[in-house]
Each structure stands twice: as structure tokens, then as C-alpha cells.
Structure 1
């Protein structure tokens, strides 16, 4: 004991002495060593950093898996913060990059389009479409099944304890499924299996490794904190499970702390795309190089359609060509072309034709038309074209065999009696053509003959009929009423018609007076036709009101005439029935 204090001395133990000694040498909390290590740490790490990263990358590839998402985020942040500088850096390269990208895209698009057309317009393509519809899946999905040995469509990373989806990668964005719903269902199925079946060993549970359906296979790889699920179409090989296992181990190794402290926020696992993308594997079927089959099933209907279409186009072109040729025909004396149009498979031609004009079909066919394609609708009229005069005179000369006609001198020669001379003169005078009757008859010699009553009646009849046929009645444009002057002309015409009817009766002859209305070309064809007919009817009733017998009157509408005389009017034509013909009709 210490005599001074009256207390017993306590000797420190060996452990306490070593602790005191450590503090004296190393400092409080090993501060001396820490200062030395921190002082040399930068140099030490710098000298081995490159080799260490190389060795670790070579060992398990985890360096690139860790650095890739970090570098991507760093570049993204730098671009966002310094947009203008990056634009100036990249501007010289953008043009060539865009051109190359567009060219590559167009080439790929054309190639895919050709392949799509090739496969769609063949028997195999049609069969695949039918089988895809029968199976209840899309055509593109069925094509994938037929052209790939296997293809990983989607990979999901799911937290083992909570069953929440951490990350999912899809090969075809258009075919993506709801990853959260999928992971929840898969976790529920896995828990059901684990709870429903007996444990194989103490402390271990059964779990699903694979789920097969008709359309796809779900390959599941379990890990301590998470598991990977790969949705695969086709028949996956055995080594694909090793690929999934390796990716899952890398994720556990790199994201061990995040998996242990997972609280429901999956943002920290966005950088796992590097590992998950490596699981999107595909293997295409080997295509046998065979001679391409000709798609006759498509070509034959197409050829038939082309032939039918070509026939109708050719027929239409032929009809239009004929129409144009007929419209371009040169004018023919005595023929007035009213309308030309295609009707069904023929050409309908509407014309007015003088009885002494050339045959209409001969006129058209002679200029290059086709008789099989032409249908003619012809109406008669009296043409004023002087080119028809010779034909009319030769036709008239047939009734007077005693006479001959000299075309060069335009004269009749021969001897006739007074009655024949009178008849010939009256008929020449009644012609609508502009001729000199006196010059035509100057070469005829009249034989002496007593004038009989019949001859006198004949002479007076011809005189009255000539006066009738030379009469015209004018109308106002778009009108069908008779003016005061026209009514006086109608009155004189009625008197001449009644006298002519009496002379014809004395000679036991009959005639009909045809009233022909005309119009100008101002309106439509149907309107002009109707208006011309109404004008003829107006004259018809005016003549009857003045005492003309209605049984000798006939009416018709000529529409618009193709002549220089553009005034609307009514003209008259006499149709005669000789006494011999009347007797035959009566007998």
C-alpha cells in the first residue's frame, strides 16, 4: 500500500499496455497509418488501375456492364447541359450521317417490301395467312414462327421477394406485353407451385423453371434476390439457359446492394439493359436454295384481268377513232350529218339525206369506216345543193323517152307534144334547184296537137302545184305563230291548193301536200325538232281554217337544216299519185 495515500497500487495489465503502445505508435484510431496510406493511395491506385480494369473485364466482363450505363448517363447529362456546343461539334457529320441513314433505311425498306410481296403473292404466303387466321394469331407472328428456329421476344427481371418488375426488354416494340401484370401473374403461379407441392429437401422449395404453351415458351432462371424470365417463340436450345444464368449472376454481382435494399423503386435497375439485351437471342432457319416457284395462282387471274381490260380499252379506242373519222368526213351533196356517238358496241349516225344523194353507208365506208360498227338513222329531205341537179334531170328524163339530155350544154333535145311539154316544164319548175327552165327546154320541138280539156287541166294542175312548192312561210326566232303577212300568204296558198285538188280530181289523180317546218341551230336537237314540228302544225291548221281538205295535208319537222339559209320557215312538197296507180289501188 502507498503509505502517503493509504491506497493500494494497481498495476496495468499486458493488454492495456499493448493498447497504449498501439496508440503511441499508430496514433488515435490508426490515424498515423491512415495519413500515410491516403498520402500514397493516389499514386498506388493510378499505377495499377488500367491493369486491374483489364483483368476484371477479361475475367467476367463486369467492367463494361458497370461503366456503360454510367458513361451513357454522363454523356446524356453533358449533352443536355451543353447542347449548342455539341451541335457545333456534330454539325459537319450530321449531313453525311443522315444521308447514309436514309439510304440504308430505303434500301432495307425496299428489300423488306420485295420480300413481303414475294411471300404474300405465293401459294405459301396465302397458306400462311390462312393458317395464322386459323390459329388466331397475327400474320407477322406466324411468319416469325415459320422463319426462325427460336427467338427471344422479351426478357423480364423480377424481384424475388416482392414479385415486382425491375426491368424488361422487348425485341419487337409493337408486340410488347404488360410487364407488370405478367410478373405479378408469374410470381403468383410460382408461389402456388412452391406452396402446393412438398419440399424436396429441408430448407428448399420447388419453383418453376419452364412453362410451355402452343405459341411460346417461358424460360425462368432463379437467383437469390431476383429471377429472369425469357419469353421465347420456337424451340430454344439448351445453351440459352446458360446465357440467362450468366446474365442473372452478373446482375446479382453488380447490383447486390440495390437488390438487398430494394424498396419498390425500380429506377436504379434501368442500367441493367446491358445485361438483358445480351439475352435477346435469335436463330433463323436455314432456307433451302430451291428454284422459285412461279405464282400461277396469282399470275393467271392477273393476266385474265389484263386481257379483259385491254379488250375494253381497245374497243373503246376503236369506237372513238371511228367517231372522229366520221366527224372528219368531207361534205357530201345531199347528206347532212346531224350527230355521231357511240351507243353500246356500235356507232350511231343520225343524218338527213336527199333521195338523189349517195347512199349514206357507202359514203361512210368509202372514207375508211367499218360497216359492222355503224348503225344509221336516216331521215329524208330535199337538198338545195346544185350538184344534185344532174341526177334529178336524168331521173326526170326517164319519163320522157322521146327526149335526150346533153350534159355539156345542159339542154333537152327531141320532139314532144304540147301535153308532154307542159308536164315536163311544170316538173322542172317544181324542182327546188336554181335552174333556167327556158334554157333547158330551148332544144325541144313541140309537135302540133289539139288542146283537150285533160291537157288544160293538166297544165293548170302543174301551174298550181309549182306555185305551191315555191311558197315559203317565215317565222320569228323561237316562235311558232304566223304574222299578218304570213296569214295572207296562207290564204293565197289555200286557194291554190283547193284549185289544184279540183284539177287533180278532173284528171282522176291525187296528191298530198307535205308541210315541213324548220328551225335554226341555236337550241338543242330535241328542242329544234319539236319547234319545227309545232310550226308545221300551225300552218296545217291555218290551211284547214281556209278550206283546205285535211286528208291531203301531211306535216313533219325537219329540225335545224345545215344550209346558209338560217331563217326559220315552213316549206312545202307535193307527193303525187298518178291515175294509173290510183286505178290499181282501187281495183
Structure 2
């Protein structure tokens, strides 16, 4: 049974082969014929999908591409160089041009911002560049002219074409090209590096009157005959023209057979290389430098003017205070360009420095005054103080160091006046009271003959008290320091109170000066109370400095004062007399 089944299977297989073999063979042949068409429709998508999947396509192709490029360079090195030469030259030129443009812009900014003359400017730039001054000047001027341009076949040395600014120059073109080829070959053979290094090529030949600039290419070289120093832009033009010729006539150069007529079409290209640059007759616009120089000059002039004014102020102090009664200048200098600092010693009776500067038309804002208070004992100052006292006693005169009664005014002089006068004179430092004692005694004898008018003394006392009571010292908001413009009132109060004490003694009384500090309603009550105390104390201390006995001074803090809408400043120190 098993043999029968085996034979049946074998027969079935033979039958299958007979029936299906031919169609399968035809189908496989058909698929082989259409395989390229079938793959063509999906190959790009398949490669893209596989590359996205695992990057295996690029990994497989990379060694193949590298091997192909290496093989091409080895087998077709010259052809590749010929085709790549114009492209590489253009890329390098663009990169170098960008770098040079940036460098030129920076250099131009430096030149434009310079305020020196051109020669000094160029010396400075040469020093910065590490170049000699002569080379830098040449690089800046680069005046040149290209007289002739030669296109020479590199392999044969034959002159392919030439162009010149003067037709006479073309006569020796063939000879020049032959000599240059020989020299170029000599340099290449004699000075090439060892071990297969690159060959040396000529780039420039200099003579006394002109220079030859050579631009080397794979199949040809371009030679320019130049007088002067050729500019970078002209060299760039030569290089660009050579690359253009290699690009447009690569086949003609490779298959050159000695027929130069083919290259007559490069005439316009060579003519474009006949460049020249002449020195401009117009000077560069220097308005910016002129404006900056003018501004600097005005600024320096203004500083000089301020210094001159300050110097005049110092001179005015030195000359004006010489011989000024009660004031001695110890130091005067210019503290900066425009301000002055002075140090003076001043007697309180002398004119104030502020008033003196006002009389001299000196700007007070430009002067810092350091004042040292002193008592002057000079005769002129003492005489001035005596005369100031005698203004209150018109009955008495002082002349040639002697006191006397004005003629016809003897009856108007009383003993109280003489006592007050004597007390006031004794308070003047430097007064020779012994010398004046006889005069005062004589005046006292005359006054004693007149009856003592108690009512007149009482009236004088009341008048002095009223004058002090009418004086007010005002303060700024939230301030307890005495303002400068109120300082003179302190001196007046001290003088009047000293008189009150003398007059009160004639009535066998003692006088007490009350200093009352007040404040307005702005701020807190505690703060206003504190300001009232500080204002009264500051006035008291200033009165003591002016010679008032502190034991006859009393301070009182009133605090806030309601003005009830009156247009009055409540920030004050007021005065009252008790006796």
C-alpha cells in the first residue's frame, strides 16, 4: 500500500512538472526582462525609506564614493585640476575679498577718525602694521599703469595673444614670451623641492623701470608689464581674466597645435587688463577733522578762558585785600580749572567777604572762602570800632586819638551817656583806655553838671528793648540751622543787648534776654517741639559767640503756633527782655 502511494506521489510530481514548468519558466523570463522597469519606479522611495530607517544606505555608499574620488584623482588628476581651477579660484577669491573688505573698512575707520596730518597719520598706521614708513606710503598710494598683457601657452611657451596700450610694445611680444618660458622652466627645474614636492613658479620679475607680474594657470600664464606699484584690484583683474580664459577655452588649450589664431577672441579680455591708476589732484575731504579740531579748539579755549577768569579772581584777592582793614589773606589758589579757594583771617567788625566780593564784581559761586575769625589790634581797625560806637553818641567826637564834646552840645550830654560810652569803649580790644581816661573824666565832669534824667534813661531802655523785640529770625521748613541771610541779625541783637545791660545798670537793674523758639503746624507736634528747642538753642549759642554773657540768656520752646490764616511764617526765633 505504501509503494502504491509512493508511486502515486511521484506520478503526481511528474504531472505537475509537465503542466507547470513551461508557464513558470516563461513568467521568470518575463520578470527578468521587466525587472529594471519595476525597480526604477520604486528605487528612490526604497532608498529613502531604508536611509530613514537605519542610515545604512549612506554607510554602504560612503566607501564606494571615497574610492571612486581617489581613483579619479589618481587617473585623471590633470583634467580634474583644469575643471576645478576656475571654481576654486572663485571661491578663494570671494573669501579673500571678504576678509580684505573687512580689513579695509576697519583701516578706513581709523584713518577717518584721525585728527593728525596725513604724514603723521601714515607713520602711526605704519607703526601699528609693523611696516616701514616707506613701504606703507607706497601701499597707500599704489600709482601704476599696465602697459602690456601677454597670454602664453604654458607647455610650449608660444605667445597665444597679447594686448598693449601702445602698438609699438607688441613688437617684442614673441621674444618676451620665449624668454619668460625659459626662465620659468629654469626656476621650476632648479628650485623645486625634494621628494616630489611642488614645483616653484615665477610670480614677479622686477627691473629698475618696470615689473613683470605672472599669473600661473594649468595650461597658460598671463604676464603683465607694469610701471609703478600695481594695486590689489589690478592683480585681482589679472587672476580673474586668466580663470575666465581657462574656463571658456579649456579644449583649445588642451588641443593646442601651434595655431594662435584661435585665441584672437581673447583680445577684449586682455584689453580689460590694461589698467592704470593716477593720483587724484583733489585732496580728501577733511571736514570731519576740521570740525573736530574746531570743537577741540573751542573747548580748550573755553577752559583757558575759565582758567584766566579764576587767575584774575586770585589776583583781585591778593591785590584787593592788601591794606583792607580787619582782613588778612593767608592763602589763595585755583582749586580746579574754574574755581578758587581762599583762606582769610577777618575781624568781626570788618566788611564781610561776601560784601567785599560783591563790591569787586566777583562771582561768589566760584569762590570757596575759609574764614578764620580773629580780633584785629591794628590802629585803623580800633579807630573804626571807636567811630562805630560814637555814632550812638552824636555829642562826642574822636579825632587824632582824643575824645571831646561837640561844640554847643554840652548840655545834651548826661552822666548815663558817659558811663555807657566808657563801658562800650572798654569792650573794644586794643583800645588804650588809660590814654582816653583823662578825656572820659573831663567829659564826665561836664556831664555831671547836668541833672540825671531818669525818664530819659528809662526811655532809652524802652527804645532798645523795643528794637530787640521787633527782630525776628526766620527758619526754613523742618530746619533749625540759622540761614546765612539772617546771621547779621545776631550781631545786631548782641550789640543792642549789651547796651541794654549798661543802661539798665543806671537804673540799678539787671536785664535778661529770652530767646523764644517757635514752629508752624506742619509735621508732628513732637517734631515741632524739638525744632522749637533747637532753634532757640542755636540762636543762644550764636549770641554767646558774639560776646553776650550766657548767664543773661534764657531759651524757651513755645512749639507749634497757629497763624489762623495769617500770611506769616511761624518758623521763628523771637526775643523778649526781662529786667
Common topology (TM > 0.5): no
